Structure 1
Amino acid sequence: MSVLLLNDDDVRTRLDAATAVRAVRGALLAAHEGALHAPPRIHADLGDGRLVFTAGRLCSEELFGFRAYDTLVGAEQLVAVWGSDDGRLRAVVHGDELGARRTGAIGAVAVDAAARPGEIRLGLVGAGTQAWAQLWAIRAVRRVREVAVAARRPERAQAFARRAAGELEVRVRAVRTVEEAVRDHDVVVVATNSDVPVLDADWITPGTHVTTLGPKTVARHEVPASLADRAHVLLTDSLAQATGYAEPHILPTDRLVDLGAVLAKAARGRTDPEQITVFCSVGLAGTDVAVAAALCEEVRRSA
C-alpha cells in the first residue's frame, strides 16, 4: 500500500463535511470511552517560536499519528497517520485546510448536540477560514435557514457572503455590527483573534447556542466572562486541554462538561429550549488523525 501525500486542494475537493463530522464524532466518543489516547500537546522551543505536536491513537481504528504546527513563521501544518496493526505510514496531509475543517466538524457536532432541534438561524462573528469551516460543517448536521456575518472589516463579510452563495449555495447576509449577527439567532459562532470581548453577553438571546473558537484565557478572550453567568451548560471537546492552559481559563473550568460524555448520554447537555449553551472549542488531540484517516479512505475508495 503506497503512502498518500495530500495537500490543501485534496482536502477541499475530496473531504466532504459529512465525512469530517462522522470522523470527529467517532473520535469524541472514543475519547470518552477511553479508546482514544490523546496526551497533552508537546511544545518544542525554537527561540522566537515553538513547534507544537498533538498526537492520538484510535484503538478501534488501529491508527495513530500526529499533527505538527508552528508559532514561529506560520508554516503549513502537517498530519501523519500510521496503522498500528502493521506500523506502515498510511498518509501525510500538509497545509492548513485539514485543521480548519476538523475544527469546523467539532463545532458542528457541538451544534448538533447542544442547539435546539430543527433548522437554525446562524450568526457568525468573523469572516475568516475558521468561520467558513464552521458554516461548511454545520450544514451537514442542520438545515441553515439564514446566516448573518459580521467582521471587523465590512468588505470581508461581504466577500464571505458572496463566496457562500457561490460555493455552498447558502444565502448569507453581511451585517454592519456584531450585535446584528448575534441577537435573535439560534446558533452563534465567534471566530476571531480578538484579545478583548467582541460582544456583550446580554446580546445572546435565551435558547441560543454559542461556539467560541478564539482566545479564551483571562488575559486574552473574545467572549466576556459574564457569558458564563448567563449560560446553563458549558461544553468543551477536551477537559484536559481546557484546564491545561498556562493562564487561567476565562470560563469556570469546574462547570465545563465533556462533549463526548454528552454524545454518549453519560452527561446532560441542553434540557430546556430556553437555555443558553456555550461550547468552548480547544481542538481535541487525535481528531486531526481521525479526519485525515477518513479522508485517506475516501481517496482510496474513489481511486
Structure 2
Amino acid sequence: MLVLGRSQIEALIDLDELIDALTPAMEDLSAGRASAPDRIAALVPERNGFLAAMPGYVPSAGALMTKLVSLFPGNAGTPLPTHQAVIVVFDPATGEPAALLDGTAITASRTAACSALSARLLAREDATVLAVLGTGVQARSHAHAMCRVRPIREIRVAGRNPARAGVLAAELSSVLDAEVRAVATYAEALDGAHIAAATTHALEPVICRPWLSPGVHVTSVGYNPAGREIDDATIADALVCVESRQAALAPFPAGSNDLLMPIRDHVITAEHVHAELGELVSGSKPGRTSTDQITLYKSVGVAVQDAAAAALVVAAAGARSVGEEITLR
C-alpha cells in the first residue's frame, strides 16, 4: 500500500491538472454516473465539531476512495487546521486498498480548485480584482487557485485578525504575480471586487449585498453550525450554483446554513438553486447571462472532489516512485 504524508502530497498536486480533473468529475456527479452517498457524521457538540465519512466513486477518474474528515471550527487561529482528514484509496477493479493519504492537504487543494472551476464557469472573463475573506488554509489555497483561471492583478485580504491578514498578504505577495494587500474590513475588501472568496467560520455574514459590485462572482466554502457567511439579500439576488443540490440542501450538519436558513425563513425556495457545477459543464443549465449579474457558488464539499484529487496524487506518486510500501494485516 502506498502511504503519502502531507508534504509529499503538497509536492505532488498540480493545481491546474486538479481544476481540469474536477470538470468531468462534477459532470459525472450531476449525470448520475458517480456514486457519492450522503455523508454521515458523528457530532461533537461541546466543540461544535464533527467527524464525517465520505465515500465516493468517479468513473471518469477511475477513482474509488473514502475520506474520514474532522471539522473543528474552534481550531481557527491555532496551529491546527479546522479540517483534518485521511483518505483510503481502493482499486476500482478489485476493491483492494491501494493507498493511504493525508487528506488535509487534499481537502485544502480540491476545495479551492473547485471554487476556481466555478469561477472558470461563472466569473467574468475580465475579472482582475480578488477579495479573500479569511486568513487560514482555505484563504491561501483560494488565492492561488483563482489566479489560475482569471487574470487576477489585485488581491485584498481581510479577516477577524488584522495581523494574520497582514502575514497572509505578505506571503501571497511574495509568490503571486499580483498586488496583494491586507485591508481592515470585509466591506473594504469587497468594494469593486470581481471575485470574492469567502473562507471563514463566521457567525455573522461576511458577504453582504450592499458591499457587492455588479457582476461579482462569490464563492463560499465556510462552515459554522450556528452561523453563515452570506446574507439573505445576496442569496436572493444571486444566480446560485452548488456541487450537488442533494448535498447542499441536506439537513444539518451536511447541508449549508447559507441556503437552509433563507429557505427556512421563506426568503427563497429550494428551486432558487439554479444549477450544479456539472450541469454548467455539460451545458444542460446556463451560467452567467449578463455582465452585471451576481453569481454565487456555495460549496459543502463532496466526495467526488476528493476522489478526483486522490487519483491524480496516486498517479503522480507512481510516476515519481514516491511513497512507502507497507503491508496491512
TM-score, L = length of structure 2? 0.84
Mapped to 1, the partners of 2:71 and 2:301 lie a distance apart of 16
User: CA 1:157/1:46 → structure 2, altered by over 3 Å: closer, same or farther?
Assistant: closer
1:117 shift after superposition:
1.1
Residue 124 of structure 2: which of 116, 119, 131 is its match? 116
User: CA 1:53/1:133 → structure 2, altered by over 3 Å: closer, same or farther?
Assistant: same
User: CA 1:60/1:110 → structure 2, altered by over 3 Å: closer, same or farther?
Assistant: closer
The percent identity for this pair of structures is: 27
Q: Does 1:226 align with 2:237?
A: no
Q: Deviations over 1:264-288 (max 9, x none)?
A: 1000110111100011111122211
Structure 2 residue identity aligned to 1:293: A
1:50 shift after superposition:
4.4
Mapped to 2, the partners of 1:142 and 1:46 lie a distance apart of 39
8 Å contact from structure 1 (residues 161, 171) kept in 2? no
Residue 165 of structure 1: which of 163, 173, 184 is its match? 173
Q: Does 1:239 align with 2:245?
A: yes
Mapped to 2, the partners of 1:22 and 1:278 lie a distance apart of 20
1:119 shift after superposition:
4.3
1:147 shift after superposition:
0.5
SS of aligned partner of 2:148: coil
Mapped to 2, the partners of 1:82 and 1:24 lie a distance apart of 19
Residue 78 of structure 2 corresponds to none
SS of aligned partner of 1:286: helix
Q: Does 1:185 align with 2:223?
A: no
Q: Does 1:201 align with 2:205?
A: no
Structure 1 residue identity aligned to 2:7: D
Residue 278 of structure 2 corresponds to 260
Equivalences for 1:1-303 in 2 at 5 Å?
Answer: 3-44=1-42, 50-71=50-71, 76-215=84-223, 219-231=226-238, 233-246=239-252, 249-251=260-262, 252=268, 253-256=270-273, 257-303=275-321
Runs of 4 or more off by more than 2 Å in structure 1?
43-51, 59-63, 70-76, 86-90, 165-171, 245-248, 250-253
User: CA 1:75/1:212 → structure 2, altered by over 3 Å: closer, same or farther?
Assistant: closer
1:184 shift after superposition:
0.5
1:229 shift after superposition:
2.6
1:140 shift after superposition:
2.0
User: CA 1:146/1:299 → structure 2, altered by over 3 Å: closer, same or farther?
Assistant: same
User: CA 1:20/1:62 → structure 2, altered by over 3 Å: closer, same or farther?
Assistant: closer
Mapped to 1, the partners of 2:149 and 2:231 lie a distance apart of 28
1:169 shift after superposition:
4.4
Structure 1 residue identity aligned to 2:12: R
1:101 shift after superposition:
0.9
1:213 shift after superposition:
1.4
Structure 2 residue identity aligned to 1:254: E
Mapped to 1, the partners of 2:216 and 2:83 lie a distance apart of 36
Mapped to 2, the partners of 1:47 and 1:178 lie a distance apart of 29
SS of aligned partner of 2:90: strand
Q: What count of residue pairs does the alignment treat as equivalent?
A: 299
Mapped to 1, the partners of 2:188 and 2:83 lie a distance apart of 35
- The runs of 5 or more residues in structure 1 that have no matched partner are none
User: CA 1:214/1:47 → structure 2, altered by over 3 Å: closer, same or farther?
Assistant: closer
8 Å contact from structure 1 (residues 79, 94) kept in 2? yes
1:81 shift after superposition:
1.1
1:47 shift after superposition:
8.6
8 Å contact from structure 2 (residues 29, 304) kept in 1? no
- The runs of 5 or more residues in structure 2 that have no matched partner are 76-81, 263-267, 322-329
SS of aligned partner of 1:92: strand
SS of aligned partner of 1:96: helix
1:32 shift after superposition:
1.7
8 Å contact from structure 1 (residues 114, 270) kept in 2? yes
1:144 shift after superposition:
1.2
1:216 shift after superposition:
7.1
Structure 2 residue identity aligned to 1:18: D
User: CA 1:165/1:75 → structure 2, altered by over 3 Å: closer, same or farther?
Assistant: closer
